[in-house]
Structure 1
């Protein structure tokens, strides 16, 4: 593809508006063609925030945006309940897609998306597990793959938010937040997650009524490693993502030193990120640039629809473990299509 990739962004909320800005300003080789949101005023506000005339058209229906003239690729940043319809429509038109996680609301819907992509005959979908594009995560991955520290035994993960949005529910701590750790653990270790246990202390006073926050999630892997995740979505002070790999001959950790440090006569102060868009800004930029480059070259890389399906299976087991207070084995997935070999 010699010309700039025409991108339709579906969803103009917090994440979608950031991607609108990114496509319009920060990603070479792409141009913003359409923005869709059921709240057209919100889509208009996302464009107004650019302070430039991008020429993008506004749509209330995402399917109209997918079918709009000049659209070569689709970036899905709408709520998860709208993902499946958009992904099926994009696959039917042969359009490459970058879809924010989760792939779909559940594993059954995710498998339908996988099947649609298989029918299309080639990989079209990349799932937005952006931690794979974070430089610290990439360095940790390279170290583990090198074997320098020996076999990984444990991953200790910490995932904290300042506060949760009003619609956030207890199952979403697993299905929405810990889903990032699910993919990161599979990728870092090169192992599948096979069982999950969830423990919950008495909820924090900062947690909204009825929300079981924080939680400790323990995953077992196919080759005997353990992954524990502290998920705390109403910490009240910062957005923090940290990971330590404990191996046979040493350990390595990332995330603790992230952020600007200011030193004055009053002492040293570290700026703490307040949300994921700040903490992973560079990762999002690299992710979208890589996706656009792939579209221009006619290839799709990064986390696949199959990765999204497997993450959904693990998350569902986690929600069941959370609800029932027992260890839950992750179900066997459907047969892996050759497309994802």
Structure 2
């Protein structure tokens, strides 16, 4: 089926998912994809990995060999089209996501796509529209985007506290995103598009509103920064509701992987990321004892979040639903990051150009 046919509304209904197990193809088995294959095989129920696809055939064969019944399919589009595949997990490089996600929509197959949804806001919006057309025909949505922090128990606890009004109206959000080191090709623009993108989704998730403008400041760079790059960065988001979110992004600390989020509200504050439990302060009372332990990388810090994310994706796909951030969230993140990169380059406050959601849905 062609993209033109998709645009015209000629779309298949999602195939019935077997009651026993969801049969999944994993596209891309680098570090993230290989971790997901191992996780699906060893820790997630109701699922089987039936195929993997990767440009590096030898790597794909190694990953497949560890999973009984898993085979290697050279062409990722063929893996998506396979009648023995019920759903698809995409962990390929971002430049391939648009074609692969669209193929999943055209085939009526649930897809979990690691961020970014696509490489730019325009192509992400095209996927939003393609899925909207599918949903108008079938009543079902297919696309989940891999913003795993929403599934982290600490973030879930903080979100529940905010939703219950436990801090009153949230006013400010303070975030820190720190890595021990990054590879030599990692630019300041990538700090925004690959690192701060998670704080973009966190802000939208916690506050339930869009980001309207971005400002990026360049403090004095660490001597450990990639040559010619600004590190750390300070990023400021202004939301549509008048709230402010600041993000310290520092990717060459030499220490470890630190992610902290504090929400300051009218009636108190709450922080996560200090000791794997929420620390709340209100009326002079403080929460749990703080710890100095730091995870070595994101897989340790968010391992539990990935487990929860994949289990909920599998369970939802078997019900014909999605349970997590969708195509619009992937698009909104790209639109904010585009504004962030522009703000980084120009030194100016940059408005976020976001399509009208109601207009897109219609």
What TM-score, normalized by structure 2, do the two folds share? 0.87
Q: Give deviations 1:232-283, integer Å, cap 9, x for gaps.
A: 1111111011000011111000011139xxxxxxxx9854211111100000
User: C-alpha distance in 2, partners of 1:18/1:254?
Assistant: 25
Match of 2:97 in 1: 83
**SS in structure 1 at match of 2:188:** coil
1:3 to 12, 15, 20: 20
Count of matched residue pairs: 329
- What secondary structure does 1:336 align onto? helix
- How far does residue 3 in structure 1 lie from its aligned partner after superposition? 2.0
Unaligned runs of 5+ in 2: 1-17, 278-289
Select 1:209's aligned residue among 227, 246, 249.
227
Contact conserved, 1:199 with 1:217, CA < 8 A, in 2? yes
Q: 1:57 to 1:336 in 2, by over 3 A?
A: farther
**Cα shift at 1:112:** 1.2
Q: Determine the C-alpha separation between the residues in 2 that align with 1:269 and 1:290.
A: 30
For residue 36 of structure 1, what is the aligned residue in structure 2? 53
- Residue 200 (structure 1) aligned with residue 221 (structure 2): no
Q: Does 1:98 align with 2:112?
A: yes
Equivalent residue number for residue 231 of structure 1 = 249
- What's the CA shift for 1:62? 1.2
Q: TM-score, normalised by structure 1?
A: 0.92
CA contact (8 A) 2:343 2:350 kept: yes
Shift of 1:183: 0.7
Deviation digits for residues 40-59 of structure 1 (CA, Å, limit 9, x no counterpart): 112223334x4xx4211112
For 1:221 and 1:157, how far apart are their aligned partners in 2?
A: 15
Of residues 313, 316, 320 in structure 2, which corresponds to 1:298?
320
Match of 2:198 in 1: 180
2:275–2:292 Cα contact (<8 Å) kept: no
How far 1:337 sits from its partner (Å)? Answer: 5.8
**Matching residue of 1:287:** 309
Alignment of 1:1-341 (within 5 A): 1-48=18-65, 50=66, 53-121=67-135, 122-258=140-276, 271-336=293-358
Structure 1 stretches lacking a partner, 5+ long = 260-267
- In 1: Cα distance, 2:324 partner to 2:172 partner: 25
Alpha-carbon separation, structure 2, partners of 1:146 and 1:183: 20
The alpha carbon displacement at 1:63 in A equals: 0.9
Q: Find the counterpart in structure 1 of residue 14 from structure 2.
A: none
